């Protein structure tokens, strides 16, 4: 094997012999010219940024208008997660379940080995030790990613705690998730993201897009962590964590799961309506994407955001829709696939302003005139990667090693007619049922077909690392552990429409009006009325002053169309049938009770 140069000495950073042996074995396979261990120092990161600019991997933006910001462009074929080429490689196919792509571990390793063989020749392998969660906290889990991408290194430096403190926490024998990533040729036909839960291993090749290449994200924090959580008695969830402070200074925390395009980051960084701000209401963001939840010593459910940054979709973010997001991305941010306004050398995306730049480069790097071009300047999935500390509404508890206590869990989807604005589940089992039947309807912009229902239980369909029926069973077991301390569970739908297809609810900051009712329910301070689907607020219990929503519209938003729900029951039953005998009986019973309630005639 060729001699590989090591820029820094790993033995000075760690005495973890198994880790050193694993890195050496992957280097022998991929054959990089150099190996660089990421120690977390500012000097090293600054040097790597300068190197990325010199190679063209990054473009430095206007230091006055967007200080510390950079732009990265991916290959045109490499702009999103590739669910069809993402695999769970456990020993038995039935343990992966019907909603995951599966391949036997030995078969996948045999397929991947030739793709990695010599793929880093002429490149540097970077070794990134990182922590999901506050280092040395009860929640913390560790990983080491090997990559030939500077973009990955610099993104991981934003998204995680990393470097020497992680190696110190690992010590000589600590457990870690092995993450091997290689850009290789960015060949979409040979692109794979493979997870080996039994080995705590992730292997990704032929992509340099964030969700496929930053293996701390969905790969570790959800797919691998969900398996760890099941065996260790905790939950890894695709959820934001939000604190709501009322005028009395009381803060209650909720964790919320939404499928894509349903406003998760918008809710995480919600700006209260002016009237609420005047009264003293405040929002505290703990996290916008991932929540790890466990039963605390006091018997309550506690949640922690394992990430240290934000990786969000930027198109559509404007001063109206996301002022806190704009503040977050205003500095020290790595943009991916936005347009570049050449007049002032800044990142630009659709929604940022009403007047697109006339003199710009689009996300592909081609000349672009926003006033004349029929094409969009930013790619639809363009991203921002920002430090969590940039967020103006960041919770002071975000680094509490114990996490924050959860009063409410919220599920939601995009339904034009079926789901009401909000309902509360009757108990924990009913809440798991509500999460298991979560769905969103497609829009014309997404698929060309409107109203196609896609089930996405707990917003985890693409991210659960094992059979989803077993995942629901784990949720039920967690409820049994919590007992009377279980949070209340709610379902929301910000996307109910009238007969003309117009949204009935204004969304964004106005969603606080619904959160207020939920949290008053948690404190035993609000009433509710029964319905076949769950407990609904009385119309007088949602504050509409200044919202622009009429009481009649609210009645529509809270109405239950039993015929539509009966159709939905049939769809749910077909979805459940995919899981056969592994489906928990409690969920089958909840579906039966829903159907019975819908068929019950008024007395």
Q: Which of 179, 199, 231 is the last residue of a domain?
A: 231
Which residue is it, tokens 């793929």?
A: 119
Looking at the structure, do residues 141 and 195 belong to the same domain, yes or no?
yes
Q: Is residue 453 part of a domain?
A: yes
Q: Are residues 89 and 163 in the same domain?
A: yes
pLDDT digits (tens, 9 = 90+) for 25-56: 999 999 999 999 999 999 999 999 999 999 99
**Per-residue pLDDT tens digits for 495-520:** 999 988 899 999 999 999 999 999 99
Domain with 273, as residue range(s), is: 237-309+395-598
The binding site for substrate consists of 81, 209-211, 260, 381-383
Domain finish residue from 200, 231, 262: 231
φ, ψ of residue 41 to 5 degrees: the values are -75, 145
Q: What is the mean pLDDT of residues 234-244?
A: 98
Q: Are residues 124 and 40 in the same domain?
A: yes
* Binding site, annotated residues for Mn(2+): 218, 238, 289
pLDDT at 26: 98
Q: Where are the alpha helices (DSSP H) in 160-307?
A: 164-170, 210-213, 225-232, 264-268, 274-279
Work out the pLDDT band at 12, boundaries 50, 70, 90: confident
Mean pLDDT over 548-566 rounds to: 97
Asked whether residue 77 is assigned to any structural domain, the reply reads no
Q: Which of 345, 369, 390 is the last residue in one of the domains?
A: 390
Judgement on whether residues 302 and 318 belong to the same structural domain of the protein? no
Annotated binding site for GTP: 383, 414, 508-511
Marked catalytic residue, from 262, 385, 393, 522: 262
- For strand 177-182 and strand 201-205, is the pairing parallel, antiparallel, or unpaired? parallel
Are residues 584 and 568 located together in one domain of the fold?
yes
* Residue 92, domain CATH: 3.40.449.10
Domain containing 459 — which CATH number?
A: 3.90.228.20
Q: What is the mean pLDDT of the chain?
A: 95
Encode pLDDT of 439-466 as tens digits.
998 754 333 455 789 999 999 999 999 9
To the nearest 10 degrees (0 to 180), the angle between helices 17-30 and 105-116 is 60
| Calpha distance 576→97 (Å, rounded) | 12
* C-alpha–C-alpha distance, residues 294 and 232, integer Å: 10
The annotated binding site is made up of: 81, 209-211, 218, 238, 260, 289, 381-383, 414, 508-511
For residue range 353-367, list pLDDT tens digits in order: 999 999 999 999 999
Q: Write down the pTM of the prediction.
A: 0.95
- My answer on whether 592 and 447 are in the same domain is yes
Please determine, for residue 262, whether its predicted confidence score (pLDDT) is greater than 90. Answer: no
**Catalytic residue at 69?**
no
Q: Per the structure, how many domains does the chain have?
A: 3
Q: How far is CA 565 from the centre of its chain?
A: 29
């Amino acid at each position: 094997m060729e001699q590989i140069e090591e820029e820094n000495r790993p033995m000075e950073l760690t005495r973890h012999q198994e880790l050193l042996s694993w890195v050496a074995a992957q280097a022998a396979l991929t054959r990089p010219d150099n190996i660089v261990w990421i120690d977390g120092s500012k000097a090293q990161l600054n040097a790597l940024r300068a190197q990325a600019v010199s190679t063209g991997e990054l473009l430095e933006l206007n230091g006055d208008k967007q200080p510390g910001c950079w732009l990265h462009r991916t290959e045109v074929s490499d702009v999103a997660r590739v669910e069809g080429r993402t695999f769970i490689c456990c020993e038995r196919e039935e343990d992966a379940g019907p909603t995951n792509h599966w391949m036997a571990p030995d078969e996948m390793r045999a397929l991947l080995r030739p793709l990695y063989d010599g793929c880093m020749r002429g490149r540097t392998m970077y070794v990134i030790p990182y922590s999901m969660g506050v280092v040395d906290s009860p929640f913390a889990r560790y990983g080491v990613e090997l990559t030939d991408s500077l973009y990955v290194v610099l993104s991981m430096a934003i998204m995680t705690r990393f470097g020497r403190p992680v190696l110190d926490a690992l010590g000589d024998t600590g457990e870690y998730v092995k993450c091997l990533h290689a850009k290789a040729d960015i060949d979409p036909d040979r692109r794979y993201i493979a997870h080996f839960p039994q080995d705590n291993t992730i292997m990704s090749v032929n992509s340099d897009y964030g969700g496929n290449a930053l293996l701390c994200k969905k790969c570790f924090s959800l797919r691998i962590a969900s398996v760890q959580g099941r065996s260790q008695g905790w939950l890894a969830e695709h959820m934001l964590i939000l604190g709501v402070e009322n005028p009395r200074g009381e803060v209650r925390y909720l964790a919320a799961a939404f499928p894509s395009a349903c406003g998760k980051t918008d809710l995480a960084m919600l700006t209260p309506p002016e009237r609420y701000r005047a009264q003293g209401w405040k929002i505290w963001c703990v996290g916008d994407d991932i929540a790890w939840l466990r039963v605390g010593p006091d018997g309550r459910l506690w949640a922690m955001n394992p990430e240290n940054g934000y990786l969000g979709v930027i198109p559509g973010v404007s001063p109206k829709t996301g002022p806190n997001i704009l503040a977050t991305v205003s500095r020290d941010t790595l943009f991916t696939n936005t347009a570049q306004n050449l007049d002032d050398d800044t990142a630009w995306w659709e929604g940022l302003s009403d007047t697109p730049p006339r003199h710009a480069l689009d996300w592909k790097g081609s000349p672009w005139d926003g006033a004349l071009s029929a094409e969009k300047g930013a790619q639809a999935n363009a991203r921002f990667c920002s430090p969590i500390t940039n967020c103006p509404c960041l919770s002071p508890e975000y680094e509490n090693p114990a996490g924050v206590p959860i009063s409410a869990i919220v599920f939601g989807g995009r339904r034009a007619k079926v789901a009401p604005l909000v309902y509360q589940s009757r108990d924990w089992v009913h809440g798991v049922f509500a999460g298991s039947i979560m769905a969103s309807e497609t829009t014309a912009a997404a698929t060309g077909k409107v109203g196609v229902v896609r089930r996405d239980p707990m917003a985890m369909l693409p991210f659960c690392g094992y059979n989803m029926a077993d995942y629901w069973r784990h949720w039920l077991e967690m409820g049994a552990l919590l007992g009377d301390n279980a949070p209340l569970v709610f379902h929301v739908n910000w996307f109910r429409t009238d007969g003309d297809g117009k949204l009935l609810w204004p969304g964004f900051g106005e969603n606080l009006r619904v959160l207020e009712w939920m949290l008053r329910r948690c404190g035993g301070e609000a009433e509710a009325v029964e319905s076949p689907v769950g407990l609904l607020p009385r119309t007088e219990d949602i504050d509409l002053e200044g919202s622009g929503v009429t009481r009649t519209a609210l009645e529509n938003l809270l109405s239950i169309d039993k015929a539509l729900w009966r159709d939905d029951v049939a769809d749910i039953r077909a979805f459940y049938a995919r899981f056969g005998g592994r489906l928990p009986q409690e969920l089958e019973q909840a579906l039966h009770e829903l159907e019975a309630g819908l068929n019950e005639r008024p007395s």
